Structure 1
């Protein structure tokens, strides 16, 4: 998948992050697009699945990619390349997947919601800031602040109500 294709995918899925990424240093831009496209794929898991177990299956598929499974999906190939080059941390990507698992079922309480917020959009935002600075994407706790995380949670794709 080339950079213009990644950029187009992120532009459709998350225009705000796309605009932020185009101002990143050129050597970081491609990897930011990969991270944002990955985050979108994880967020889509609950949107396209008709039942919670099906969303968990989609998330498990991505977990297997992070753990080393070779898949023919263009984004999976890019993600594996970033992991192989040390651009992404498998622990950080796994943490994003773990946090998205909370979306499969209703979030039970405030504490669970805050954990979800820290792990999903807030985690991706922290990862991308570090990627833009150091050309490496890492998981950090507390970066971005709760307002940043909650704003992204409110603006992530919504599950259709039954």
Structure 2
């Protein structure tokens, strides 16, 4: 079975994919924002000397995740910002666009994660290749998901 389709660039989908990939790495920053904010408020109320340092730390922790995602999208946009053709076959997944082409063998993939309008081909916990499936019909999506389930890459719950 061969499934082939072309995807169009979409910066919002790429941003969603980058957010999903880095969500666990950025979680401590999101946790520190309210903790440092509350600590800063408590120190301001009690006249503590470190209140402004805690408040500055909270601001930094709020900005870092946004900056990491923005820089990740910016770095990836050169290759993902142009139309790409995807071919899913028995050999693996072949991608091609005006700048590059390559094949990912099935054995290289850890699993496939489905997020709205795209799938993420996971090679390991941080290396992910986003594939937009927004332009596929319901039948084409079902065929693709059946192929991925048959390879043991997509659980039936997804």
TM-score range, shorter chain: under 0.3
Pick the structure with more strand per residue.
Answer: 2
> Between Structure 1 and Structure 2, whose CA radius of gyration is higher?
2
Q: TM-score, normalised to structure 1's length?
A: 0.24
Structure with the largest fraction of helix: 1
TM-score w.r.t. length of structure 2: 0.24
